[in-house]
């Protein structure tokens, strides 16, 4: 079976003034559909960079990235933007809700790019908010929500257009333990019950443990993790 | 459309910021629309105000109605000159010979001659007969009547002259809208210039080609007299007497230009600040799949909306201002009513929106040109 995400010998180079930074070098990785994968590693190891490549926010300097049978590394910037709008949900550490918009309006943002009518949008938005357990907070502004609730709204925003791929950059990094557990449970069920493929970057071993599989990145390469997690290419479930 | 709504939300929910910008825009657009109103009023007055076959006979080397004095009996001589179709003696009294915002002009004319000489005068209230029968009767221009709140039967005083309104007149000639026509002998006595003295003669010639020869003939005829004349086509007369006014108003063009520049700078600055404060938000939208075009559009629409709302307030404000205040600018007996007009209002609104759109082009480009990955880290 072809993997949902296939990363083949990807190298990413940043230019900073005179010097070149190579956060990722000759990296390969396969992720099957429906897997909840966590990426760990020290700061600066290239986790966010890898996540951005998978999410189509950035493009590699060499190598191939194939997602759901489409070679996204070959797409132009504009094509990538359109592709993201339909296939990717991005969850940030700091939620990044638009502060002037209500929870409902924040979740509506990805749908405004499509052709859905108002009634259909409403149905989807309420379903997404319901799934994250915040149907009763639709009219609240981000400032009126707790961190955990904000992150739930952000997850609703990431799934409302029904993308196959979810990427999350330290989604629990700013949350207390209880809220974090709720978010992790939610992500787990999105993979298990809704078939989403999830790639999550985290510093928290507890979060990593909630995933199906955990990989350890160091200096742009996968390594045997200090905590003994395997670097197997096949899913551990 | 959905993007426009999002842009609108952005403005509405940053109420104070949008309000302040709008206020500035409306102040600029008020100024701009005022200047345009002046320019437009002047264009109307000078283009439509002078008939092509009319000569104005004035006292030589005099430029103000108060100092131009000619004997009324010149009339019969002028009427006898070949090529002259009609002539009317006019005594003009103004309350202020220099530049002023509230000029009142009396034109003393032989009441029977007025209708024959000036058939385009249309009495809209009161009657011409009342004017003929009342020695202190006045036919008052519409604009003047509105300014003073006059209707038939009212009496009013200006320049030391008391008159009774016999009728309100409308005319294609903007000059007629600002004056009060009164009986010539009445004005001559009331203003103490004395019977038999007039300010000028208006002379209609048979054909436009005759303007020059007839004018020369008139001046020649009176050259040796006590009171020599200077005769010009009405257009030239207007252009010369209104010269200072025209120069003054032409100068306001720069004020209008300044207002435009100010609005442009204001909106550009406001939108640039908006965009700067939204770098992260913009990056989030891009991550969600919003294209650079969509982001840019939203910024431009925001600028356009700021321009539109500011324009509506400023331009309509100026329109209302000139409508209710009814300013009349005058210089050397020539009057210019500053009246609002639809073309000026509409073009003002269009200019406001255009300025808003243009001003936000650079901020829009700024907003979309930053690399996404970099903005996300901002
Ligand atoms: N836009 C960029 N331009 C230049 N260098 C960059 C850029 N983005 C990341 N880098 C560099 O690439 C390396 C990897 O960065 P990355 O953000 O992927 O690390 P990370 O593993 O996510 O770290 P953290 O755990 O702190 O988030 C770092 O050295 C970083 O400075
Ligand atoms: Mg990171």
B23 and B128 inside one domain: no
State whether B289 and A113 contact (CB < 8 Å).
yes
Question: Distances from the Cα of B20 to the Cαs of B23, B266, B339, in angstroms?
Answer: 5, 10, 29
B52 belongs to a structural domain: no
Ligand nearest to the CA of B373: 1
- Facing B286 at nearest CB: one of A81, A88, A98: A81
Q: Which residues contact A17 (CB under 8 A, 6 or more apart)?
A: none
Closest CA to B104 of B339, B326, B322: B326
Question: Count of CB contacts below 8 A, A vs B?
Answer: 54
The answer to whether B340 and B324 are in contact (CB under 8 A) is no
Interatomic CA distance for residues B217 and B85, integer angstroms: 14
CA distances from B9 to A91, A98, A99, A105, B266 (A): 24, 11, 12, 10, 21
Q: Which of B133, B158, B131 is nearest to B144 (CA)?
A: B158
Give the rounded distance of the alpha carbon of B94 from its chain centre: 19
> What HEC string does chain A produce?
CCCCEEEEEEEEEEEECCEEEEEEEEEEEEECCCCEEEEECCCCCCHHHHHHHHCCCCCCCEEEEEECCEEHHHCCHHHHHHHHHHHEEEECCCCCCCCCCCHHHHHHHHHHHCCCCHHHHHHHHHHHHHHCCCHHHCCCCHHHCCHHHHHHHHHHHHHCCCCCEEEEECCCCCCCHHHHHHHHHHHHHHHHHHCCEEEEECCCHHHHHHCCEEEEEECCEEECCCCCCCCCCCCCC
What mean pLDDT do residues B24-43 have?
91
Could you give the C-alpha distances from B114 to A191, B51, B90, B94, B184, in angstroms and in order?
Answer: 96, 16, 10, 19, 10
- Average pLDDT of span A157-168: 94
Q: Which residues of chain A lie closer than 8 angstroms to B286, CB-CB? A: 81
Q: Structural domain tally of chain B?
A: 2
> Given a cut of 60, is residue A229 above it in pLDDT?
no
Residue A232 counted as domain residue: no
pLDDT in tens, B126-158: 999 999 999 999 999 888 888 888 999 999 888
A168: closest CA among A211, A128, A127? A211
Distance of alpha carbon B257 from alpha carbon B249, whole angstroms? 13
pLDDT above 90 covers a percentage of chain A that reads: 75
Residue B185 in any domain: the answer is yes
Asked if the structure places residue A234 within a domain, the reply is no
Tracing tokens 């999350």 back to the chain, one arrives at A168
Set of chain B residues whose Cβ sits within 8 Å of the Cβ of A58: 372-373
Percentage with pLDDT > 90 across chain B: 53
Q: Which of B200, B227, B254 is the last residue of a domain?
A: B227
Structural domain that includes position B220: 61-227
User: For B218, what's the count of Cα atoms within 13 Å in the CB-facing half-sphere?
Assistant: 34
Residue whose CA lies nearest to ligand 1 atom number 4: A14
Q: Tell me whether residue B232 is in a domain.
A: no
On whether residue A233 sits in a domain, the answer given is no
| Domain identity same for B216 and B277 | no
CA distance B305 to B357: 8
Average pLDDT of span A81-109: 92
> Are residues B191 and B283 located together in one domain of the fold?
no
Mean model confidence pLDDT for chain A: 89
The structural domain count of chain A equals 1
- Picking from B6, B13, B289, the nearest residue to A84 by CB comes out as B289
Residues B45, B239: Cα–Cα separation, whole Å: 10
- Contact yes or no for A70/A5 (Cβ under 8 A): no
Within 10 A of B51 (CB to CB), how many other CB atoms are there?
16
Neighbours of ion ligand 2 (CB under 5 A): A 48
- Regarding whether B71 and B32 lie in a shared domain, the answer is no
Q: Rounded to the nearest whole angstrom, what is the distance from the C-alpha of residue A48 to the centroid of ligand 2?
A: 4
Is pLDDT above 90 for B307?
yes
- The residue-averaged pLDDT of B229-242 equals 84
Do residues B74 and B156 both lie within one domain?
yes
> What residues contact B160, with CB distance under 8 A and at least 6 apart?
B190, B191
Residue A59 lies in a domain: yes
State the pLDDT at residue A237: 46
Question: Which of B227, B188, B51, B193 has its CA nearest to residue B110?
Answer: B188
Q: A168 CA distance to ligand 1 centroid (A)?
A: 16
First to last CA, chain B: 29
Confidence of residue A134 (pLDDT cuts 50, 70, 90): very high
Residue nearest to atom 3 of ligand 1 (CA): A14
Q: What is the mean pLDDT of residues A135-156?
A: 93
Q: Give pLDDT tens digits for A24-61.
A: 999 999 999 999 999 999 998 999 999 999 999 999 99
Q: What is the pLDDT of residues B57-102, one digit of tens each?
A: 999 888 778 788 999 999 999 999 999 999 999 998 887 666 666 7
Q: Which residues of A touch B294 (CB under 8 A)?
A: 113
Residue A236 lies in a domain: no
Residue A43: give the domain boundaries: 5-223
The lowest-confidence range among A155-169, A222-236, B12-26 is: A222-236
pLDDT at B50: 55
Closest C-alpha to ligand 1, atom 26: A43
**B10: nearest CA in chain A?**
A100
In a domain, B236, yes or no: no
Give the residue-averaged pLDDT of B98-125: 83
When CB atoms are compared, the residue of B280, B291, B376 closest to A78 is B291
From the list B6, B13, B376, which residue is nearest A112 (CB)? B6
Q: Does residue B123 form part of some domain?
A: yes
Q: How far is the CA of A215 from the centre of ligand 1 (A)?
A: 18
Cα dihedral sign, A107-A109-A113-A116: positive
C-alpha A39 to ligand 1 mean position (Å): 14
Q: Is residue B13 part of a domain?
A: yes
Residue list, ligand 1 pocket, CB within 6 Å: A 14, 16, 21, 23, 41, 43-49; B 373-374
| Interchain contact A56–B (C-beta under 8 A) | no
Per-residue pLDDT, A228: 45
Ligand located closest to B376 CA: 1
Largest CA distance in chain A: 53
* Residue A229 contacts B where some CB pair is shorter than 8 Å: no
In this predicted model, what pLDDT tens digit does every residue of B207-228 receive, in sequence order? 888 999 999 999 999 999 989 9
Same domain as B362, residue B318: yes
* pLDDT at site B33: 94
Residue B311, min C-alpha distance to chain A (Å): 26
Does B351 share its domain with B275? yes
Q: Are B287 and A80 in contact (CB under 8 A)?
A: no
Averaged pLDDT for residues A70-76: 92
List chain B residues with CB under 8 Å of A92: 284
Q: Is residue A235 part of a domain?
A: no
The CATH number assigned to the domain holding A40 equals 3.40.50.300
Last residue of a domain, one of B227, B259, B278: B227
Q: Which residues does B265 contact at the CB level (< 8 Å), separation at least 6?
A: B359
Mean pLDDT of A174-183: 89
Nearest to B304 by CA among B37, B2, B21: B21
Residue in chain A nearest B1 by alpha carbon: A112
Tokens 């009996």 found at = B73
- With CB atoms and an 8 Å threshold, state whether A109 touches B288: yes
Mean pLDDT value of segment B281-287 = 91
Query: Is the predicted pLDDT of residue A169 greater than 90, yes or no?
Result: yes
Query: Domain check: are B198 and B255 in the same one?
Result: no
> Hey, which residues 159-218 in chain A have their CB within 8 Å of chain B?
none
**pLDDT for the residue A138:** 93
User: Which pLDDT does position A230 carry in this prediction?
Assistant: 45
Closest-lying ligand 1 atom to the alpha carbon of residue A12:
12
A75 CA → ligand 1 middle, Å: 23
A230 found inside a domain: no
Is the pTM value of this prediction over 0.80?
A: no
Is residue A47 less than 8 Å (CB to CB) from chain B? no
Name the closest ligand to CA A203.
1
ipTM of the predicted assembly exceeds 0.95: no
Cβ-Cβ contacts under 8 Å for B66 (sequence gap 6 or more)? B93, B94, B97
Residue of minimum CA distance from atom 12 in ligand 1: A23
Domain shared by B163 and B255, yes or no: no
pLDDT band with cut points at 50, 70 and 90 for residue A68: very high
User: Of ligand 1's atoms, which has the minimum distance to the CA of residue A49?
Assistant: 18
Distance from CA of B354 to the nearest CA of A (A): 27
How far is the first Cα of chain A from the last one, in angstroms, to the nearest whole number?
A: 16
Mutate-to-test residue for ligand 1 from A23, A38, A45, highest number of ligand atoms within 8 A of CB:
A23
Cα torsion angle, B213, B214, B215, B216, sign: positive
Which among A227, A197, A213 is positioned nearest to A55, based on CA atoms? A197
């Amino acid at each position: 079976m072809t993997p949902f995400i296939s990363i083949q010998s990807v190298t990413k180079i940043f230019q900073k003034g005179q010097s070149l930074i190579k956060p990722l070098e000759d990296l390969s990785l396969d992720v099957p559909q429906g897997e909840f994968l966590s990426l760990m590693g020290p700061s600066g190891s290239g986790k966010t960079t890898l996540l951005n490549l998978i999410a189509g926010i950035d493009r590699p300097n060499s190598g191939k990235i194939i997602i759901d049978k489409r070679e996204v590394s070959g797409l132009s910037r504009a094509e990538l933007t359109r592709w993201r709008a339909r296939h990717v949900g991005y969850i940030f550490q700091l939620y990044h809700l638009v502060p002037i918009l209500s929870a409902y309006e924040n979740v509506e943002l990805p749908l405004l790019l499509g052709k859905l009518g108002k009634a259909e949008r409403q149905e989807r938005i309420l379903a997404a908010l319901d799934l994250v357990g915040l149907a009763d907070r639709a009219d609240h502004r981000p400032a009126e929500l707790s961190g955990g609730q904000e992150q739930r709204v952000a997850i609703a925003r990431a799934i409302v257009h029904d993308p196959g791929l979810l990427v999350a950059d330290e989604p629990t990094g700013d949350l207390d333990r209880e809220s974090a557990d709720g978010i992790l449970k939610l992500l787990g069920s999105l993979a298990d019950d809704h078939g989403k493929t999830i790639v999550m970057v985290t510093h928290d071993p507890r979060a990593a443990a909630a995933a199906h599989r955990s990989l350890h990145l160091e200096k742009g390469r996968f390594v045997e993790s200090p905590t003994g997690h395997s670097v197997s290419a096949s899913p551990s479930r | 459309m959905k993007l426009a709504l999002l842009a609108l939300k952005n403005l509405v929910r940053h109420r104070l910021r949008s309000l302040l910008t709008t206020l500035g825009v409306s102040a600029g657009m008020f100024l701009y629309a005022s200047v345009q109103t002046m320019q437009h009023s002047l264009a109307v007055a000078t283009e439509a105000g002078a008939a092509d076959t009319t000569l104005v006979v004035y006292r030589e080397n005099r430029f103000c109605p108060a100092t131009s004095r000619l004997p009324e009996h010149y009339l019969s001589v002028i009427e006898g000159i070949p090529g002259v179709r009609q002539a009317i003696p006019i005594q003009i009294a103004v309350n202020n010979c220099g530049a002023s915002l509230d000029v009142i002009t009396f034109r003393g004319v032989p009441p029977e001659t007025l209708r024959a000489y000036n058939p385009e005068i249309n009495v809209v209230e009161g009657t011409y007969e009342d004017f003929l029968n009342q020695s202190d009767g006045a036919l008052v221009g519409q604009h003047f009547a509105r300014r003073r709140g006059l209707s038939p039967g009212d009496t009013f005083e200006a320049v030391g002259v008391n008159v009774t309104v016999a009728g309100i007149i409308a005319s294609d000639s903007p000059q007629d809208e600002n004056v009060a026509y009164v009986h010539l002998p009445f004005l001559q006595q009331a203003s103490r210039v004395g019977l038999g003295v007039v300010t000028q003669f208006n002379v209609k010639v048979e054909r436009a080609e005759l303007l020059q020869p007839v004018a020369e003939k008139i001046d020649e005829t009176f050259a040796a007299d006590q009171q020599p004349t200077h005769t010009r086509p009405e257009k030239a007369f207007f252009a010369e007497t209104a010269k200072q006014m025209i120069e003054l108003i032409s100068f306001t063009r720069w004020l209008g230009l300044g207002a435009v520049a100010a609005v442009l700078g204001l909106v550009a600055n406001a939108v640039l600040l908006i965009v700067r404060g939204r770098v992260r938000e913009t990056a989030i939208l891009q991550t969600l799949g919003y294209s650079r075009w969509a982001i840019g559009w939203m910024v431009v629409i925001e600028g356009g909306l700021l321009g539109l709302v500011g324009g509506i307030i400023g331009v309509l404000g100026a329109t209302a201002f000139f409508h209710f205040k009814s300013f009349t600018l005058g210089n050397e007996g020539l009057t210019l009513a500053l009246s609002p007009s639809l073309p000026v209002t509409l073009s003002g609104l269009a200019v406001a929106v255009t300025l808003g759109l243009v001003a936000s082009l650079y901020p829009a480009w700024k907003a979309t040109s930053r690399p996404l990955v970099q903005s996300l880290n901002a």
